[in-house]
Structure 1
Amino acid sequence: MHWLFLLLALAAMAFGFLTTSMPVLLGCLLAALVLFVLWVLGLYQARVAGSGRDTSMMIDPTEMRRLRDQVQARKVDDNELPPAQ
């Protein structure tokens, strides 16, 4: 959708440069500026929305502590085993 704003901004700029009326020129340039700003905001929103993390994949502190305890228990078990021959 935000690419449509860029195309409309370019069309408004082209129409403004081809007109002979000063009020139409100012209106077209103002419209082109607004549409260009909307395009930049839409582009920024699309980039930020694509880089967000999934909050359902976050681990709470109690789960993190449980996982740490499991890892430490495995390390202790691995150190107690006699070396394989």
Structure 2
Amino acid sequence: MPWLYLLLAVAALAVAFRTTSPWVLAVCLLVALGLGVAWLLSALARRIEDRSGSTALLVDPAELQRLREQAEARRAAAAAIQAPPASGSDSSAPL
């Protein structure tokens, strides 16, 4: 579809170059400008749409909650492993 805008803009420019009437020239130049802007915006919109991620890959709230709980469990397990053992006897105390 963007190429149709570009083709019509070129056709409007061709008519503008071949006309002898100033009013037709002005109208054709405005139409060519408008179609050129429409072509540019539609080409950019298509490019952005192609680069955007799929909405099917978004995480739903239940899955997000499950992932948070898993991360919290991993953090708690890592903290339990890194914590020094809390034993009542001190092995470094002199006898």
TM-score, scaled relative to structure 1: 0.71
Q: Which blocks of at least 5 consecutive residues in structure 2 are unaligned?
A: 79-95
* Aligned residues: CA RMSD: 2.2
Aligned match of 1:52: 52
Give percent identity, aligned residues only.
39
Which segment is superposed worse, 44-53 or 57-66?
Answer: 57-66
TM-score, scaled relative to structure 2: 0.65
Q: Distance in 2 between matches of 1:11 and 1:67?
A: 61
Which segment is superposed worse, 56-65 or 37-46?
Answer: 56-65
Larger Rg: 2
Which structure has more relative contact order (CA 8 Å, sep 6+)? It is 1
Q: Which blocks of at least 5 consecutive residues in structure 1 are unaligned?
A: 77-85
Flag the structure with higher helix content: 1
Q: Distance in 1 between matches of 2:33 and 2:15?
A: 13
Amino acid at match of 1:55: T
Q: Residue 58 and residue 66 in structure 1: after superposition, are their counterparts in 2 closer, same or farther (change >3 A)?
A: farther
Shift of 1:63: 3.3
